[in-house]
Structure 1
Amino acid sequence: MLSSTFSNAAKARNGELGGDLGWTFEAVQERLVEAWAFLARLPDREAGWLRVQATWPDVRRHHAFGDYGDMDVDARPRLPGLSSDEVGRMEEALSWLQHVPERDRKLVGLALAQLQRIARPEWVWIARRLGSVAEPDAYRMRYGRAITRICRALNTAENRG
């Protein structure tokens, strides 16, 4: 999914998806979702500090009893680290959030977290999570305005420079 996200965003950015449109809503959203996926791949250093480690393992594997591996076969494989290009792309996309009003940044973050996993955000869940009395459709419209604001800012900056 990330490779197609990258290629579509790059094509939209380079004007290959329908003329010289600059940054479109979909391209900006795809880059932000990609940045969110990169954030998920970063190590959680705080969890590592909080994890208590004993000087001796809790369970010592015994090769004579059939415990043949030193690693748990059911453990989830670690995600690969980020390359410097991926970190650069992530930082660039996350810097765009400065164009979003501060009250909408949490909303954008929740929507991006859902877009990384599913095709469309669940606005009812987001409304409950934000704890407001506003209708879910109001959050959908605020999200749309926030991403559109980023598009305008990026296209304006490109036209200047």
Structure 2
Amino acid sequence: MSIFNEVMQTHDQAQQALKARRADEAAKKTAEIELFVSKVELGFSAVVIPLFEEFVRDAAAYGFAAKLGEYNRKPDNHYISLRIIPIKGSSFGTDASVDSVFAIKAVIATQKVSYLSYFDQRPGIHNGVTSAEYGWQSLNRDQIEKQLKDFLTRSVKSRV
């Protein structure tokens, strides 16, 4: 075999191996994303939405304005939120700064689930936000209840 042929065969084999590795990595990444999306959809439908609906019903029973936001499924994220005005007898109006918002956002690219609390959005308030980021495994009843409890506690205390 000539030197040229030997070098080119070695190069071609290396290129084919690289293409195969990249294809395997892409397939693995696609499978991971598909698993993440399926776990998020299951967590939202089986855990998050029922707990949010219960939260809204309980808030209304105590005289608080509360509502569940629409579950948004986009190619890059899944998002759902709930709103409450932590002042008894209030109703939703045009001033959204009185609302407290708890949201869960699952970001497909990072495969992370973000928990966001905006418990005091009034002008001049700078400490009314919390956020935390976890994996899809956090979409369980205990974790959601813990996050909701912290959110409601902070929301109610912010209005004292």
Q: TM-score range by the shorter chain?
A: under 0.3
Query: Which structure: greater helix fraction?
Result: 1
Give the TM-score normalised by structure 2. Answer: 0.25
Higher relative contact order structure (alpha carbons within 8 Å, sequence separation ≥ 6)? 1
- Higher Cα radius of gyration: 2
